[in-house]
Amino acid sequence: MSIEPSASDRTEVGPNQAVAVGPNETVAPNAEEEIHDPDDPEPSTPGKQESDAERDAWASEYDAWCERLDAYLLTADGQRRSLELQRRLELANRLVESAETRAAVTCELCGAPSQLHRTPARWPWYKTLCPACAQAAKYVPAAGR
């Protein structure tokens, strides 16, 4: 078992960039994104050409490793690393929420202050546009969405 952010938690931030989240917080790059006992690495996954017996042996080894990992996560070091990763995920989620909030008021064509617009059709397309871009694209303000 490993704990790492899923693809949906990732932002378009370079691998070595620290990102400001709040006035006193940053998300700094960290090579320790996975939590496991550094002295007890995860068993490597068997290849497709491995026999059933080899895959069964791997499954047993993996189950035993998961039990050791659970025990490690109860140690002071394991708990410290788990809490640190949770804190980083919370900060990353706040970054995503901040970006979503800004995207809702930023024209997707020119970046000017904007609001949600729609095509006048019965089954409309929606875009976040400034008044000038909305007029050029024949979109109208969308109310109540």
Could you tell me whether strands 115-118 and 126-129 are parallel, antiparallel, or unpaired per DSSP bridges? antiparallel
Q: Does 109 bind Zn ion (CB under 5 A)?
A: yes
For residue 89, the minimal CB distance to Zn ion (Å) is: 34
Q: Which is nearer to Zn ion, 71 or 137 (CB)?
A: 137
- Part of the chain binding Zn ion (CB under 5 A), chosen from 29-37, 63-71, 94-102, 112-120: 112-120
Beta bridge partners, 113, equal: 106
Chain centre distance of CA 14: 14
Does position 105 bind Zn ion by CB under 5 A?
Answer: no
- Tokens 């995860």 belong to which residue? 42
Query: What residues make contact with Zn ion under the rule CB under 5 A?
Result: 107, 109-110, 112, 130, 133
